[in-house]
Amino acid sequence: MKKEIHPEYVEATVTCSCGDTFKTRSTKPELRVEICAQCHPFYSGKQKLVDTGGRVERFERRYGNARPQRKKSSEDKAKKTETQE
């Protein structure tokens, strides 16, 4: 390896938004994360809705009450033609 071109590798403190902290090594002495192993649903077993900037609420406002339209089957089309005759 070439000397003096690599950053200093120091002990870092990682702080999660849930309040959990742990030590690791990094090129930065302090790291802030949104999700860690203590609050991630896969590891904790708790389902936690992670909303970034109100996207879930915006989706529910737009499409919350909308029901998907089902495709008309051939039976529905046949019934419709029978009633018209």
- Residue ranges for the known binding site are 16, 18, 36, 39
Q: How far apart are CA 33 and CA 75, in angstroms?
A: 54
- Which residue, among 51, 47, 26, 22, has the nearest Cα to 36 in the 3D structure? 22
Residues belonging to the binding site for Zn(2+) are 16, 18, 36, 39
Q: How far apart are CA 39 and CA 46, in angstroms?
A: 8
Q: How far apart are CA 19 and CA 33, in angstroms?
A: 10
